[in-house]
């Protein structure tokens, strides 16, 4: 009896090895951060450093939430990021539908104008944005944290590419049946665009959840601080006193992003691939 042997491609073996090595490199900082976050203050500066913690101090997470108002900062970040993300998805999808499906005078010129916003670094408009927000009386408020970022040129471009990849027959058939433009947008295009919306939503949420510069310069009140600002203040004031609590706070900060990507990973990858199918 001859046993059939299935050859394992050498090239695939190399790819798996490279993938595992890269995964370990990317995971190492997170594992080290978690190890430091459950150490005691006396064991934090052990030399040589030890990755394994014999007596983990899980109470560090509770202490940092209670002592430094980190729970309030976390709620602020989640509220601001979620609100911006939802409004960006709404406005960007409506604008992208118009650019991808409808015909009107000056559409291409207007779309190119939107794309120009992608070429302007955020730091360049920081001072003008601050002055405008100040004149409108929105500094040190939730409105000042949210309203300046409802527009996204990248989101419009990405969703337009995705909408253009959908069959034009859907639009024409719906119009022949008497469906309005908004009805086509809400009943046909949006349900078919879950991968693209999940991708844009993930990118938008992570961008504003991790944002430090604008919340730092636009807010003064303690109850309006976001978690990146809170962590930065914790490091600046207590770096040598509570380093283990700083690591615990940082660990808490990264949890929402990890959970969102885990739940939306399938849609995220599919949306990245399909949004560039048709130009």
Q: Give the pLDDT of residue 277.
A: 45
For residue 92, the tally of other CB atoms under 10 A from its CB is 25
pLDDT at site 241: 67
pTM for the model stands at: 0.84
In 3D space, the residue among 145, 163, 148 whose CA is nearest the CA of residue 94 turns out to be 163
As averages over each run of 10 residues, the pLDDT of the chain (279 residues) reads 58 86 89 86 75 80 84 93 95 93 88 85 88 92 92 89 88 88 91 88 91 91 90 67 82 88 73 53
Sign for the CA dihedral angle at 227, 232, 234, 240 comes to positive
Q: For residues 244 and 119, give the distance between their C-alpha atoms in angstroms, rounded to a whole number.
A: 40
The CATH class for the domain spanning 68-274 reads: mainly alpha
Taking the CA atoms of 136, 141, 144 and 149 in sequence, report the sign of the dihedral they define. negative
């Amino acid at each position: 009896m001859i046993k059939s042997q299935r050859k394992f491609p050498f090239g695939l073996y190399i790819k798996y090895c490279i993938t595992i090595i890269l995964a370990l490199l990317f995971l190492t900082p997170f594992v080290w951060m978690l190890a430091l976050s459950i150490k005691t203050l006396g064991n934090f500066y052990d030399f040589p450093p030890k990755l394994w913690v014999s007596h983990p101090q899980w109470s560090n997470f509770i202490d940092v939430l209670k002592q430094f108002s980190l729970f309030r900062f976390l709620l602020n970040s989640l509220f601001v990021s979620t609100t911006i993300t939802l409004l960006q998805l709404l406005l960007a999808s409506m604008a992208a539908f118009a650019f991808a499906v409808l015909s009107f005078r000056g559409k291409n010129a207007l779309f190119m104008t939107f794309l120009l916003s992608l070429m302007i670094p955020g730091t360049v408009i920081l001072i003008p944005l601050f002055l405008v927000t100040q004149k409108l009386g929105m500094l040190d408020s939730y409105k000042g944290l949210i309203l300046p970022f409802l527009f996204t040129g990248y989101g419009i471009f990405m969703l337009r590419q995705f909408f253009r990849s959908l069959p034009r027959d859907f639009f024409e058939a719906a119009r022949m049946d008497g469906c309005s433009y908004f009805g086509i947008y809400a009943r046909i295009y949006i349900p078919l665009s879950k991968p693209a919306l999940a991708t844009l939503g993930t990118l938008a949420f992570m961008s504003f959840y991790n944002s430090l510069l604008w919340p730092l310069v636009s807010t003064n009140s303690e109850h309006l601080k976001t978690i990146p600002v809170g962590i930065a203040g914790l490091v600046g004031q207590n770096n040598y006193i509570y380093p283990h609590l700083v690591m615990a706070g940082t660990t808490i900060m990264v949890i929402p992003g990890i959970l969102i990507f885990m739940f939306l990973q399938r849609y995220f990858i599919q949306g990245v691939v399909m949004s560039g199918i048709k130009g």
